[in-house]
Chains A and B, each alone.
Chain A
Amino acid sequence: QKEVEQNSGPLSVPEGAIASLNCTYSDRGSQSFFWYRQYSGKSPELIMSIYSNGDKEDGRFTAQLNKASQYVSLLIRDSQPSDSATYLCAVIGGNKLVFGAGTILRVKS
């Protein structure tokens, strides 16, 4: 079992819709969770971090964490074509940051 799992996609949504990206992790002791966005040919860019169960909102982005289910998600409201990218879920495990393989998001105008 991979430490951090994401659906590779691509996830296609129409412009203006809500995109929902999901991630599960195996280390029950993990305490820190991150979402990064990576455009093709570029480096990962931090979108959000979340440490406590529940929702955390930042503009059009909402991160959701459920430690009991070992599940973290990212919602993107009012999706724009510029949101088209690979979204990486990352979890602190064993004192290092472990990344999922990423989900490709395509927002169609």
Chain B
Amino acid sequence: KAGVTQTPRYLIKTRGQQVTLSCSPISGHRSVSWYQQTPGQGLQFLFEYFSETQRNKGNFPGRFSGRQFSNSRSEMNVSTLELGDSALYLCASSSADSTDTQYFGPGTRLTVL
């Protein structure tokens, strides 16, 4: 099976802009979780989608949002970018829900200037 894919792999934006990141889970996986990874904060949970519904949400401001489509592909959006949003954004998929083993995609490296 193909693994989790994320696009784009690298992104450079300026403050105030918005960005949309995409994630395609492993075929047959219905749960997609998003994480932000920074050197100072480590891996932090953003949200989880299952069957097009947000089932869990981390402690991030409302500028961070996401959605999931009927084919389980997911997107996350960050509006009004801040310098502190520079991070590696990781998507992970699991077969049923977030309690199952999660497999990570390669990530999107976002740099905000």
Give A contacts to B, CB under 8 Å: 31-32, 34, 36, 42-46, 49, 88, 92, 94-102
Known: A46-B101, A88-B43, A102-B42. Is A95-B56 also a contact (CB below 8 A)?
Answer: yes
- The CA of A36 and the CA of B42, in the complex, are separated in Å by 13
Contact between B48 and A45, CB atoms less than 8 A apart: no
Specify the main secondary structure of chain B where it touches its partner: strand
Contact flag A43-B105 (CB < 8 Å), given A95-B56, A101-B42: yes
* Residue ID in chain A nearest B102 by CB atoms: A97
- Would you call A49 and B99 a contact (CB within 8 A)? no
CB-based contact B101/A42 at 8 Å = no
Q: Separation in Å of the A30 CB from the closest CB of chain B?
A: 10
Additional A-B contacts beyond A95-B97, A100-B42 (7; CB < 8 A)? A43-B88, A46-B101, A95-B56, A95-B98, A96-B98, A97-B33, A101-B42
CA distance A49 to B45 in the complex (A): 19
